[in-house]
């Protein structure tokens, strides 16, 4: 069988393959042929039949390989999971204003580190510092490339070789094996854990403070919650203790929220302004997630604590780039008016959409799609629940409208696989042997691509 595998030169001479050369660089076509033949060799050794070596099959395999090599690995997808801030799907979609800001600075030069007023060198952080202070009430602010970097920078700068006191119940691990104890060790700070997993009192912090104490640290528990017989020291309690002992209080807020969402039934998450007003001296939080901007780590707080961070050598290693800065500034500007933020920032809009509107939207989609889809496809509406995701509101379940996609002679697993491999991949969920799409997280601009994907899936499942 191995002898039947054609040579590379021979395949390149086939008219169907030679016809690819005007539209693709020769090295790309050559690589696709070699990779295809290597794959065929492995399949033959694995016991595959001779059909894969037929000329038409080889040509189709080369063309498919070339398409894969020519396509971007990072692609847009349709999020039908109902998880609003979905880490695996890129977290928060950006507002139109943020997209426009990225384009405006990406296609040419910008005043990234140039002061247009004085004609001198400036600092990249100045583009967002005043905005952050305005929105949070902080005295000073700094932005780095993500919240993990913000925590690392703060600890390295303020607690190198000294002790940081943390509640045992807040020594969290979040996605990517990011563990607070590991970060603290890498930063050069010494961890002092107090209390128990479920209960830590302010007296535990008080007892632990000594001459070597640099910070009292509170950590948002992010993607889990401890319920039942529990207690944790509040920011206000820690701030009072810190003021009494001269020990700064730092909060890793994780996701970070700039708007009070309690009027939408989404409570339990203080805003960054509230944390600072309660006495936190330094707060770190993410620029994406609940804030709804690009991935970034924001540090806000007292001027005398943020100042040393701006001079720390590690800052250059974690500094923010011009595209992220542009998107973050545009997003923050929307927060100057609550109504603008709720309407224009997709994450906030999705989180706060009422179930009545989601029902109407599901009905509109089913009606519109029903006029175009093949008879083998059936769309049904159900009620279900969405989640916030992104390490925020771990117990929050939002009532939502779901669309079940049924295709004749196709299992939910088959539908899921075919839609996931669409030109614009569709990511849904299977629950109780139903393939479901949550309309809360499907953007209006995705509807045409979603209709095309379901139509194609119906053809493939025939």
User: Rounded distance, CA 347 to CA 342, Å?
Assistant: 9
Query: How far apart (Å, rounded) are the C-alpha atoms in residues 163 and 245?
Result: 14
Residue among 344, 261, 241, 331 nearest 295 (CA): 331
Sorted by sequence, the CB contacts under 8 Å of residue 75 that are 6+ apart come out as 424, 425
Q: How large is the C-alpha radius of gyration of the chain?
A: 27
Give the C-alpha separation, 265 to 248, whole Å.
Answer: 33
Among 361, 346, 350, 456, CA closest to 402 = 361
In this prediction the pTM is: 0.89
Q: Are residues 452 and 104 in contact, defined by beta-carbon separation less than 8 angstroms?
A: no
* Helix or strand (DSSP H, E) at 164: strand 163-167
pLDDT the model gives residue 353:
96
Cβ-contact 435, 457 below 8 angstroms: no
Q: Which residue has the higher pLDDT, 399 or 224?
A: 399
Q: Which of 42-46, 160-164, 315-319 has the lowest mean pLDDT?
A: 42-46
pLDDT at residue number 175: 61
Question: Coil, strand or helix: which one is 22?
Answer: helix
* Summary mean pLDDT of the chain: 92
pLDDT of res. 319: 94
Q: At what angle do helices 322-334 and 96-106 cross, to 10 degrees?
A: 150
Judge contact between 154 and 140, C-beta under 8 A.
no
Q: Which of residues 329 and 168 earns the better pLDDT score?
A: 329
Residue 100 has pLDDT above 80, yes or no: yes
The two structure tokens encoding residue 41: 């060799």
Task: Give the model's pLDDT for residue 283.
Answer: 97
* Range among 19-23, 42-46, 275-279 with highest mean pLDDT value: 275-279
pLDDT-based confidence at 227, cuts 50/70/90?
A: confident
- Cβ neighbours for 92, distance < 8 A, ≥ 6 positions apart: 85, 288, 289, 291, 292, 293, 346, 347, 390
Q: What is the 3-state secondary structure (H, E, C) of 61-124?
A: HHHHHHHHHHCCCCCCCEECCCEEEEHHHCECCCCHHHHHHHHHHHCCCCCCCEECCCCEECCC
- Residue 159 in 3-state DSSP? coil
Judge contact between 168 and 208, C-beta under 8 A: no
Distance between CA atoms of residues 334 and 98, nearest Å: 10
Integer CA distances (angstroms), 61 to 40, 55, 71, 110, 197, in order: 9, 10, 15, 45, 55
DSSP state of 427: E
| pLDDT (tens digit per residue) in 108-142 | 999 999 999 999 999 999 999 999 999 999 999 99
**pLDDT value of residue 176:** 59
Instruction: Give yes or no for residue 393 having a pLDDT over 90.
Output: no
Q: Is-contact 158 308, C-beta < 8 A?
A: yes
Residue identified by tokens 């204003």 is 97
Q: Which residue has the tokens 């030069």?
A: 109
* CB neighbourhood size of 228 (10 A): 5
pLDDT class of 268 with cuts at 50, 70, 90: confident
Give the residue-averaged pLDDT of 362-377.
95
Q: Which of 244, 293, 88 is nearest to 175 (CA)?
A: 88
Residues 6+ positions from 32 with CB-CB distance below 8 Å: 62, 65, 66, 69
């Amino acid at each position: 069988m191995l002898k039947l595998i054609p040579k590379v030169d021979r395949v390149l001479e086939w008219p169907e393959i030679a016809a690819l050369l005007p539209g693709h660089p020769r090295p790309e076509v050559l690589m696709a042929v070699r990779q295809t033949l290597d794959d065929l060799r492995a399949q033959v050794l694995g016991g595959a039949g001779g059909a894969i070596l037929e000329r038409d099959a080889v040509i189709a395999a080369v063309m498919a390989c070339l398409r894969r090599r020519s396509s971007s690995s990072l692609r847009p997808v349709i999020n039908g999971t109902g998880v609003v801030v979905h880490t695996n799907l890129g977290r928060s979609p950006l507002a139109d204003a943020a997209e426009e800001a990225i384009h405006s600075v990406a296609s040419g030069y910008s005043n990234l580190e140039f002061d247009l007023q004085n004609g001198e060198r400036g600092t990249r952080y100045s583009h967002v510092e005043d905005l952050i202070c305005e929105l949070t009430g902080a005295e000073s602010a700094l932005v780095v490339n993500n919240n993990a970097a913000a925590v690392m920078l703060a600890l390295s700068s303020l607690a190198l070789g000294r002790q940081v006191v943390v509640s045992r119940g807040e020594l969290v691990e979040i996605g990517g094996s990011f563990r607070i104890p590991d970060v603290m060790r890498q930063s050069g700070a010494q961890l002092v854990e107090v209390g128990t997993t479920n209960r830590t009192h302010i007296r535990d912090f008080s007892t632990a403070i000594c001459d070597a104490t640099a910070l009292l640290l509170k950590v948002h528990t992010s993607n889990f919650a401890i319920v039942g017989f529990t207690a944790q020291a509040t920011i206000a309690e820690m701030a009072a203790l810190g003021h009494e002992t001269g020990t700064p209080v730092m909060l890793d807020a994780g996701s970070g929220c700039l708007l009070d969402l309690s009027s939408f039934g989404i409570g339990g998450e203080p805003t960054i302004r509230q944390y600072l007003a309660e006495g936190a001296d330094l707060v770190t939080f993410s620029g994406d997630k609940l804030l709804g901007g690009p991935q970034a780590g924001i540090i806000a707080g007292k001027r005398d604590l943020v100042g040393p961070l701006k001079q720390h050598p590690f800052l250059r290693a974690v500094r923010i780039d011009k595209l992220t800065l542009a998107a973050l500034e545009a997003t923050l500007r929307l927060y100057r008016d609550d109504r603008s933020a709720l309407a224009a920032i997709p994450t906030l809009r999705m989180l706060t959409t009422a179930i009545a509107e989601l029902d109407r939207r599901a009905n509109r989609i089913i009606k519109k799609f029903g006029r175009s889809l093949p008879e083998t496809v059936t769309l049904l509406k159900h009620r279900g629940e969405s989640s916030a995701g992104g390490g925020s509101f771990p117990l929050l379940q939002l009532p939502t409208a779901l669309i079940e996609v049924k295709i004749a002679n196709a299992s939910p697993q088959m539908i899921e696989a075919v839609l996931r491999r669409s030109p614009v991949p569709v990511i849904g969920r299977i629950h109780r042997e139903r393939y479901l799409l949550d309309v809360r997280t499907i953007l209006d601009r995705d509807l045409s691509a979603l209709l095309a994907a379901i139509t194609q899936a119906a053809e493939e499942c025939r």
